[in-house]
């Protein structure tokens, strides 16, 4: 809410999200690469540094791989929906001391209108994304599978894959589905022996749990919030197990996935009392938005 104009429509902006214009490849290994990129796209841990501390991920500017017309970050944006990618707030590499915010592009729009050619034969997208992570945001060096996955995800976004509905409700089920996809991507990368990528996938799943947690802030929902945090703690332990190459990690992740479904049911039962409820969200926005 701090990164939006004061006159924003809370329901349209925070209770709904754009639908994703994504078509997964049929081949399993290629589909896994897209899933890796999709999960990395959704966690601030990818970018590190100031962006991670602020909670900024790729999806902050590109909601569901689209654009974000209400994005208004102090010192980085000009008009809503713009960002200065050469601002020194996030980057010691590209800060140029000039205030020049530009419109955030829709990554799911026509490929010909995007800044960088995406054809694999052009070999331009991966270096561009690498520069975004390591220079524009001063982020850590991404694992090769993560960089390849981010490029695969962006390439898999297409206007031809857009659903008929332009947006969908943001719900517990919506965010937990993302978390499960990230955990399954971690399983896939563990099967390939790529522990660093698997750790980032679990970070992405934890990010989605955090987005649920912040909407269950009412004191009457404390017990459910404790269950969410216990689920997050199990993923943190799983990250440690991946780093240690623990033989139990496969069973641990399978158990987490199984337990996520009854957790979702418990959360969904109290969803009307949380900030997933558009009416309660609107009340909160009126209290918290500037002005």
Identify the DSSP state of 194: -
Helices then strands (H, E): number in the chain? 11, 4
> What are the residues whose beta carbons fall under 8 Å from the beta carbon of 60, sequence distance 6 or more?
3, 68, 71
pLDDT at 289 > cutoff 60: no
Tell me how far apart the alpha carbons of residues 36 and 265 are, in angstroms, rounded to a whole number.
Answer: 26
- Coil, strand or helix: which one is 69? coil
pTM of the model: 0.94
Confidence of residue 51 (pLDDT cuts 50, 70, 90): confident
The per-residue pLDDT for range 85-105, each reduced to its tens digit, is 877 777 676 677 778 889 999
Confidence of residue 286 (pLDDT cuts 50, 70, 90): confident
- Average pLDDT of the segment spanning 193-215: 98
CB atoms within 10 A of CB 171: 19
Domain ranges, ordered by start, for the chain: 21-161, 171-268
The per-residue pLDDT for range 95-139, each reduced to its tens digit, is 777 788 899 999 999 998 898 999 998 899 999 999 999 988 889
- Fold classified for 21-161: Cytochrome Bc1 Complex; Chain D, domain 2 (1.10.760)
273: alpha, beta or left? (left if phi > 0; alpha if psi -120 to 50): alpha
> What are the residues whose beta carbons fall under 8 Å from the beta carbon of 174, sequence distance 6 or more?
17, 168
User: pLDDT at position 225, please?
Assistant: 98
Residue 169: phi and psi, rounded to 5, are -65, 145
Identify the DSSP state of 172: H
Pair type for strands 102-103 and 82-83? antiparallel
Confidence of residue 14 (pLDDT cuts 50, 70, 90): very high
User: pLDDT at position 57, please?
Assistant: 96
Tell me how far apart the alpha carbons of residues 85 and 178 are, in angstroms, rounded to a whole number.
Answer: 27
Identify the DSSP state of 116: S
Cα distances from 190 to residues 26, 28, 184, 206, in angstroms, run 21, 15, 10, 17
pLDDT at 291 > cutoff 50: no
Tell me how far apart the alpha carbons of residues 237 and 20 are, in angstroms, rounded to a whole number.
Answer: 31
The per-residue pLDDT for range 217-274, each reduced to its tens digit, is 999 999 999 999 999 999 999 999 999 999 999 999 999 999 999 999 999 999 999 9
CB 198 within 8 A of CB 190: yes
């Amino acid at each position: 809410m701090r990164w939006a104009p004061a006159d924003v429509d809370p329901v349209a902006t925070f209770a709904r999200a754009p639908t994703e214009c994504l078509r997964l490849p049929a081949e399993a290994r290629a589909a896994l690469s897209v899933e890796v990129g999709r999960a990395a796209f959704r966690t601030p841990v990818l970018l590190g540094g100031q962006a991670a501390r602020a909670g900024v991920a790729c999806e902050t500017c590109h909601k569901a791989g689209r654009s974000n017309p209400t994005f208004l970050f102090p010192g980085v944006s000009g008009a809503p929906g713009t960002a200065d990618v050469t601002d020194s707030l996030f980057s010691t590499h590209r800060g140029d001391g000039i205030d020049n915010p530009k419109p955030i592009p829709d990554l799911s729009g026509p490929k010909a209108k995007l800044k960088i050619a995406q054809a694999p034969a052009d070999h331009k997208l991966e270096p561009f994304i690498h520069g975004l992570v390591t220079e524009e945001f001063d982020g850590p060096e991404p694992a090769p599978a993560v960089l390849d996955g981010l490029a695969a995800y962006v390439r898999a976004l297409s206007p031809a894959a857009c659903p008929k509905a332009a947006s969908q409700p943001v719900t517990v089920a919506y965010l937990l589905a993302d978390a499960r996809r990230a955990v399954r991507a971690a399983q896939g990368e563990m099967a390939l022996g790529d522990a660093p990528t698997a750790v980032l996938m679990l970070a992405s799943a934890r990010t989605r749990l955090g987005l649920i947690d912040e909407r269950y802030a009412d004191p009457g929902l404390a017990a459910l919030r404790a269950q969410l945090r216990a689920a997050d703690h199990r993923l943190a332990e799983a990250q440690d197990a991946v780093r240690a190459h623990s033989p139990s990690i496969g069973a641990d992740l399978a158990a987490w996935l199984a337990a996520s479904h009854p957790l979702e049911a418990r959360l969904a039962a109290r969803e009307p009392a949380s900030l997933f409820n558009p009416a309660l969200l609107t009340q909160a926005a009126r209290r918290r938005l500037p002005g």
